[in-house]
Structures are given as C-alpha cells and as structure tokens.
Amino acid sequence: MVSSAHEGLHRIFQERPEILAPVFRTLGIPFPEKATLDALTPDVTETKPLERRVDTVLRIGPSDGDDFLLAVESQGARKPEKESSWPYYVAHLQAKYRLPVLLLVVCQDLPTAKWAAGPFDCGTRGWTTQRTYPMVVGPDNLPVITDRRTAAENPAMAAFSALAHARSPHINAILEAFGRALQEQDGKASDYFYEFLDINLRGTAAGDKWREIMGFVSYFPGRGTVRETAYLEGKAEGKAEGVAEDRASLILRVLQTHEVPVSDDIRERITSCTDLDTLGLWFDRSLTAATADELFAEPQEAPAGTTDTGA
C-alpha cells in the first residue's frame, strides 16, 4: 500500500520535474537542458498475490540522446527487503519498456543513504549474475538551503533540502527560508509544498517547527493568498465569528512567541473584536510590537506647518 508520504514524493517529481537537473548535477551525472518527461505506471506487479510498486517512474526523452527510465524511491530507514526488490524493479522495467533504467533513492539520514548506495548483488559461488547500483541523494549531498531567494527559485529542491536535513542544526533556518519563499507564491504550488513537508516531517521536531511557521503564513490577513481566500470562503457562510476568533488567537500567539506581556484587559479587547480589518491591522503590528499597547496606537499626524513640496 502506498503511503501519503510516498504519494507526495510521486507527485513532486511529476509536477516539479525541474528538480531533476540539480539532483543529477549533485550526483555528477549530466542531465539534458531540454527533455520531455512522462510519468509511467509505477506498477511492476507480475502476480496477484504480490504487489510491487515503485514510488515514481519517469520516461525521460533528452534532446541529445536516447530515452531512458528513471525510477524514484523514497527510503526513510534501512529495509533489507529492498535489496532484492530494487534489482527486481530495474530488471522488470528494462524488460517491459526495452529502455535503460536508472534508480534514484531519496534518503532522510546518512546511515540509510550509505546502505542504499549498495551495490546489491545477486549471485553465488563467486559468480555475480546481477549487480545494482542505486543513485542516492540525502543529507550528505543535498544542499542546505537557508536563502529565501534560492528557495523561491527552486521550491522543489528546497523541500528536499528540508527533508534530507530534518535532523541537522540547520533545519530551523531551512524551514524559515522556505516558509518566507512560499509567501511569495500563490496557487497550488504553495499549498502542495506545505502539504508535502507536513506529511513527511510529521511527528518530528522539524514537523512541529514547520507547522508553527506555516501557521503564520496560512493566515496572513489581507494578503489575498490562496490559503487565506479558501479559509475565508469556507467561513463566509455564517461563520464570521470563527474567522475573528482565529485571527485574535493568532495575534495572541505571535505576542506570546515574541514574549510580549499581555494583560487581561488587552486580551479581552483582542478576543472581543469582530472587525476583520482591525484584526488584520493588529496582526501586522504584532509582528514587530515591543509592547501590546503598540497594537492600538493611533496613526501619527504630520507636524503642523510641514508640507510635501515634492521632488
């Protein structure tokens, strides 16, 4: 049975094929600048009692050579049964499509990556019938991406950077840069990458950090993002109170995160407010406020006698 995490990996390669070029460069393997990519069925089952399914199978048609297949597997831990199933995948796909096959394994920790590199032999009495060498990416060869611009330019690689380095000291910086990058994107891509990391990092300290970061991104009032629009539309039918409550809760959460003291009177003022525009303004101010009173400051008027003379 294919898990949600494995399905996430399947989709990320199909929907964001540009990740293949930097991954191949990391491995020192040339990847054509122009190529066609087609997702093939990952089913390599031969008999009904036994299900064998590769996470992703892509047929790559380079402009400068012959087609080949790329089978992609996600491996979170060492599993001895893969030492026989991976060679089976390669042999079956080669026989089925009559094309060369490369196997790429994406790992989340160094011990698993070292094991997954193989080689895995089939043979006996000093004779090797088949030898399989997977290509492996993991924390030792995927870059640490802590720059927002880099993450925005290649969100797929940034997502894998977070996945591969989930246990490293850099993970918070990686997630924060990626979260800021996703704020600048709209449409399905932003939602998709949020879900991808949410699934793959769930149950870890990195997963908790990611949810904390994306909690702010998801409900940035007044930004018009897809996540906010969908959220507000879902609440529009008789649920305006829930929107206001969530925004008030988020403001208090930001103040708490920044260790800004909040009195009972101020807490009551925030939680009793039902005007969404006002709550949006207070949220913006909460991001930089040194005291809770700064949320309610009136705009300062220009000093008397000053005029704008223009340039």
Mention every residue, 6+ apart, whose C-beta is less than 8 A from residue 108: 75, 76, 138, 139, 163, 164, 166, 167
What is the C-alpha to C-alpha distance for residues 71 and 168, in angstroms, rounded to an integer? 28
SS3 category, 164: helix
How is domain 4-137 classified at the architecture level of CATH? 3-Layer(aba) Sandwich (3.40)
- Token digits of residue 214: 């994306």
Q: Would you call the peptide bond into 221 cis, given omega within 30 degrees of 0 as the criterion?
A: no
Q: What is the pLDDT along the chain (311 residues), one digit of tens a residue?
A: 444 445 555 555 555 666 677 777 778 877 766 666 665 655 544 433 334 556 678 888 877 778 899 888 878 789 999 999 999 999 999 998 999 999 988 888 889 999 999 999 999 888 999 999 999 988 888 899 999 889 888 887 888 888 888 888 999 999 999 988 887 765 566 777 787 788 778 788 888 888 888 765 544 444 444 455 554 555 454 455 667 787 888 888 888 878 889 998 999 999 888 888 888 889 888 888 889 999 998 765 545 555 544 44
Q: How far apart are the first and last CA of the chain?
A: 67
Number of H helices, E strands in the chain: 13, 7
E-only strand ranges, the chain: 35-40, 56-62, 68-75, 101-107, 120-124, 127-132, 135-137
Neighbour count for residue 266 (Cβ, 10 Å): 18
- Token digits of residue 66: 């012959």
* Entry pTM: 0.55
